[in-house]
Amino acid sequence: MTSTVPASLTRTAKGAALQAVFLDMDGTLVDTEGFWWDVEVEVFAGLGHRLDEAWREVVVGGPMSRSTGYLIEATGADITLDEAAVLLNDRFEKRIGNGVPLMPGAARLLAELHRHEIPTALVSASHRRIIDRVLDSVGHHHFALTVAGDEVTRTKPHPEPYLTAARGFGVDPRLCAVVEDTATGVAAAEAAGCRVVAVPSVSPIAPAEGRVVMASLEEVNLTFLRSLIN
């Protein structure tokens, strides 16, 4: 976890109903879920295996340990989890070397949160090396805190990543809003007690108590996020 939380931001958060906003990365802020699948297809093709398109919905949004482990088991590839993770991260990092495309509405939302000094954290199942490379494009200054999948004991769908972000800001997770694009991420945020905005990227997500489903980040703004906290 990396944190640059100014004391002024923490004090501001404690005086407001909405204490912080936590954002997922792949598929939520940046249009990279397809990149990950393409890289998985390429890596396993190099190992002599073809991935079934139906597996994409199984691995989307999951931590690398789970998604890669599933693909190794499904294909029978002769490779360890650690070896596959290195190949996937290397290939993905090369893929995004020239920048990453933002999801519609992401730049506007990030600018709004920054302008109003809302404590904002990036909470991702991706590894630190990937997060830092993506933030070179998105802008490190948008986030006072970032939590990577390889920096927690249990990553999504476990609540630990979001609870870690809440502790980092010194806020109540029940007074925080989370934006996620996958069922795995939604499960993690809800288990942490956060209010959730789901903006599905690959697979549909149904509305539920404490969860709002939106078609795009273009429909999400600070006023809306504040309205989620009762």
pLDDT tens digits, 194-228: 999 999 988 899 999 889 999 999 999 999 999 99
| DSSP one-letter string for 156-171 | TTSSHHHHHHHHHHT-
Nearest-angstrom CA–CA distance, 22 and 37: 24
Instruction: List the Cα angle 77/41/187 in 5-degree steps.
Output: 90
* Run means of pLDDT, 10 residues per run, the chain, 230 residues: 54 65 96 87 95 88 83 95 92 87 96 97 94 93 96 95 98 97 95 97 89 96 94
Question: Is the distance from CB of 168 to CB of 5 less than 8 angstroms?
Answer: yes
Type of residue at 230: N
pLDDT of residue 3: 65
Look at phi and psi of residue 59 and say left if phi exceeds 0, alpha if psi is from -120 to 50, else beta: alpha
For 149-179, write each residue's pLDDT tens digit.
999 999 999 999 999 999 999 999 999 999 9
Q: HSE of 214 in the Cβ direction (CA atoms, 13 Å)? A: 18
